[in-house]
Structure 1
């Protein structure tokens, strides 16, 4: 039986279609007249439609506020609202003028039922609380928008019911990209795995794309005249679903985080689910410092960047110039991972950390050596994968950092990553030469004892190890703790 809400949605759908038809009619008429080339042609949204649409959103918000977890309803009240037909998702957000703004595309949003409308609003708010605005920036240079967007969507959609049929979920990504991603993992974990899968697919499809290139160029040229006109989006596109983030006000990360904390504080009026409580706690505890694994990603981009010329690869910047030779890495980077075995770093901490190191450097021409040391070097061995990691030697002595740096200097390494509780000598007897150093202090550690670190000092977060055989069907989201999810498990 059709409810009044359903009738209102249907009526708005009809009116939205009329707006689009009128837009194309007006644009066609305008082209037949003399009109400045650079003058954009915009959709006119009648005030009556705007008022009726936001009255509908008020009803959705009221439903959110009547839920047991009314956080989302109170968060939405604080946000500005706008209508845009050019976004490729039912909703989108950005930060404008000291406020978060939520945008609605009626052509996509009005195809949803009430519960799905609620979920797509919750989806945007979870992106905000998870600080995805900030965290996604760290991956812009080396990762595609599709990989970044799908990774973020997996994280937030894990906690939502009544998702639209096209929503990006963990099961969907695993099925479509032949992956075995685990649930309740950080955004950073998902984006790396998804990007690798996308790269492999692109290699497989490269020949087909070459054959179709001529036709694609013609289509692109034909569409070029529409750049100045407002796009009309009628379908969800995960690759473009967060494009509006780029249109946010120019604001520093610390200030944005402070605004986000304020919005979250004002929205806490009642019961908060475990996962939301942990997200908010992580939000408040984040000091804006780049996590050790993200810092390592940056370092890898600077390690031995010299390249040699080759005639077997085209120049990447100008592939059509056959007279320009391509480039290959001319050096295998030596990465030394030092482990303080005096008892200060737990096996769980190190095993999780070395997995992340291997995942980060796998796309580089590298050689990884693990060096175990307390007051002296006890063992050095090479690793290519997690299965090569050996059980640590059972030693419970003191700690000295100098022997590791002596070894690094003698073996001409490119990068030293030192896992320790930070307690050793105050001054190195051997100064590092020709390589970068990253200190990673254990969760139980305090600070580095050295007066001069000769490198960046980062800290591990507490790690709780779970059974990796867990599946989505084994877990009930409502009762799952966020202690192992997002930033808290790094």
Structure 2
């Protein structure tokens, strides 16, 4: 006899299909960036009753930590996501989204796994870490890497789920299990680069056994682009609050070490480590090519494809009005160059006081010139006028903070990091249009990802021992 749960699931699927009129229309709508569907109140209530039953099933499991975590999350229905579930931070809490058309095709154990999958992304701080790597790796490589990490700890996955075994087979790789998010992203990106440059072959876009599921790995975390502006420390604080409330349940062994490490990582990042993180978010410039079709609209032969150029323009402005000592200047430049060179980006040094005195390119410390003499006084606006006239992706401005209280021009299309020297106190600008950090001598670690480093950072469960 058919269970009440299965009967409810089938009835809801039929109603969901009617809401979007037909599967054909749904596929057409799903191809767009975003669309709105009028969701009847009664359908929403019945659907979330089903989710309550899934949550109850989670609560009855040995590791009911997930059930307590889900209790705290907001819930919304989104027919325009390409996965059964999605996660985001909204309104000072985590919100889990459900696409009924895809979610209702799963059995209850698979439903549980998709919910656990989203919670693992939260506990791994992937909402922050993915942004850090955005300028370095493609969206597809980042999404595949994150899903490999979390799915290694889950059973009863949907047939189209991204797994380590599946990626190794698809791309003829030999990636090791239980490794870091960054390790997987780099290795997958290397393969994607080879495929992108190979004009003779076409990449297989099918994923898993169920090609009709609507699953698209390049769009699995598009929701995160809608994420509200929130800094890392605040997100950690909210995550810790959710964890504390969920500890009424039993925490899986493989999550305990990661949660413990996350709680130990407190405080604001120093400027150089913040820059290191920021570099991953800087979009590299792209070049057009006639040898490839447009990825988003392959049937439009009039549109040119794109290749990643892997170079961004980084400008470093140095206030030479006497506010920064020679020692501070040399140490800061060394650290900036050490960070930037790992991303193969170009760097321009801008010497300025109340005007731009000189600007020149630098690849290493030997390219750094003796500072110009200053005429005294500081104005920030000339640097922004200069940056606005160039193809700048990121501006790092070293100063004592004493200048105008308002910029005469606004930064256009680039990010700004202010670094206040040891002699300075705060930035005089009322609106800095960027993040303000204090200059301090902090050792910059090697950028190569190390297993020990990841454990200490506490952002990921990637390095826990495998569970057999």
Q: Shorter chain as normaliser: what TM range?
A: 0.5 to 0.7
2:168 matches 1:174: yes
Alpha-carbon shift at residue 22 of structure 1 (Å): 7.7
| 2:4 counterpart residue number | 4
| 1:406 counterpart residue number | none
Alpha-carbon shift at residue 259 of structure 1 (Å): 0.6
Aligned CA distance change for structure 1 residues 483 and 254 (closer, same or farther; 3 Å): closer
Aligned CA distance change for structure 1 residues 151 and 234 (closer, same or farther; 3 Å): same
Aligned CA distance change for structure 1 residues 280 and 328 (closer, same or farther; 3 Å): closer
Q: Is the 8 A contact 2:179 2:462 kept in 1?
A: yes
| 1:284 counterpart residue number | 263
| 1:15 counterpart residue number | 15
Aligned CA distance change for structure 1 residues 455 and 41 (closer, same or farther; 3 Å): closer
TM-score, normalization by structure 2: 0.58
> SS of the residue aligned with 2:443?
strand
Counterpart pick for 2:94 among 95, 100, 125: 100
Could you list the per-position Cα deviations for residues 435-460 of structure 1 after superposition, in whole angstroms to 9, with x for gaps in the alignment?
Answer: 9xxxxxxxxxxxxxxxxx99751458
Could you list the per-position Cα deviations for residues 310-338 of structure 1 after superposition, in whole angstroms to 9, with x for gaps in the alignment?
Answer: xxxxx925869xxxxx9999xxxxxxxxx
Distance 2:274 2:197 in 1: 27
Alpha-carbon shift at residue 295 of structure 1 (Å): 6.5
- How do 1:455-470 residues align onto structure 2 when only pairs under 5 Å count? 457-458=443-444
Aligned CA distance change for structure 1 residues 23 and 301 (closer, same or farther; 3 Å): closer
Distance 2:186 2:114 in 1: 25
| 2:404 counterpart residue number | none
| 1:486 counterpart residue number | 462
Aligned CA distance change for structure 1 residues 316 and 242 (closer, same or farther; 3 Å): same
TM-score, normalization by structure 1: 0.56
> SS of the residue aligned with 2:223?
helix
Counterpart pick for 2:247 among 232, 246, 268: 268
Q: Is the 8 A contact 1:84 1:105 kept in 2?
A: yes
- Structure 2 unaligned segments of length 5 or more: list them: 26-33, 203-211, 292-306, 311-337, 346-361, 370-438
Alpha-carbon shift at residue 86 of structure 1 (Å): 0.3
Aligned CA distance change for structure 1 residues 2 and 415 (closer, same or farther; 3 Å): farther
> SS of the residue aligned with 2:287?
coil
Alpha-carbon shift at residue 48 of structure 1 (Å): 1.1
How many pairs align? 320
> SS of the residue aligned with 1:457?
coil
Distance 1:99 1:70 in 2: 20
Q: Is the 8 A contact 1:93 1:244 kept in 2?
A: yes
Alpha-carbon shift at residue 62 of structure 1 (Å): 0.4
Q: Is the 8 A contact 1:131 1:283 kept in 2?
A: no
Aligned CA distance change for structure 1 residues 169 and 12 (closer, same or farther; 3 Å): same
- How do 1:425-436 residues align onto structure 2 when only pairs under 5 Å count? 434=368
Q: Is the 8 A contact 1:92 1:242 kept in 2?
A: yes
Higher helix residue share = 1
| 1:196 counterpart residue number | 190
Alpha-carbon shift at residue 257 of structure 1 (Å): 1.2
Distance 1:20 1:249 in 2: 28
Distance 1:22 1:53 in 2: 19
- Structure 1 unaligned segments of length 5 or more: list them: 26-39, 210-232, 306-314, 321-325, 330-356, 366-412, 417-431, 436-452, 466-481
Distance 2:23 2:270 in 1: 46
Alpha-carbon shift at residue 24 of structure 1 (Å): 9.1
- How do 1:88-487 residues align onto structure 2 when only pairs under 5 Å count? 88-204=82-198, 206-207=199-200, 235-287=214-266, 289=269, 316=287, 434=368, 457-458=443-444, 486=462
Distance 2:45 2:215 in 1: 25
Q: Which runs of at least 4 in structure 1 moved beyond 4 Å after TM superposition?
A: 22-25, 290-302, 317-320, 326-329, 413-416, 453-456, 459-465, 482-485
Alpha-carbon shift at residue 139 of structure 1 (Å): 1.0
Q: Is the 8 A contact 2:254 2:464 kept in 1?
A: no
> SS of the residue aligned with 1:103?
strand
Alpha-carbon shift at residue 298 of structure 1 (Å): 7.1
Aligned CA distance change for structure 1 residues 234 and 273 (closer, same or farther; 3 Å): closer
Aligned CA distance change for structure 1 residues 71 and 292 (closer, same or farther; 3 Å): farther
> SS of the residue aligned with 1:60?
helix
2:73 matches 1:79: yes
When the two chains are superposed, the root-mean-square deviation of aligned CA atoms in Å is 4.6
Could you list the per-position Cα deviations for residues 35-65 of structure 1 after superposition, in whole angstroms to 9, with x for gaps in the alignment?
Answer: xxxxx97321111111110000000000101
Q: Is the 8 A contact 2:136 2:280 kept in 1?
A: no
> SS of the residue aligned with 2:176?
coil
Aligned CA distance change for structure 1 residues 178 and 294 (closer, same or farther; 3 Å): farther
> SS of the residue aligned with 2:20?
helix
| 1:375 counterpart residue number | none
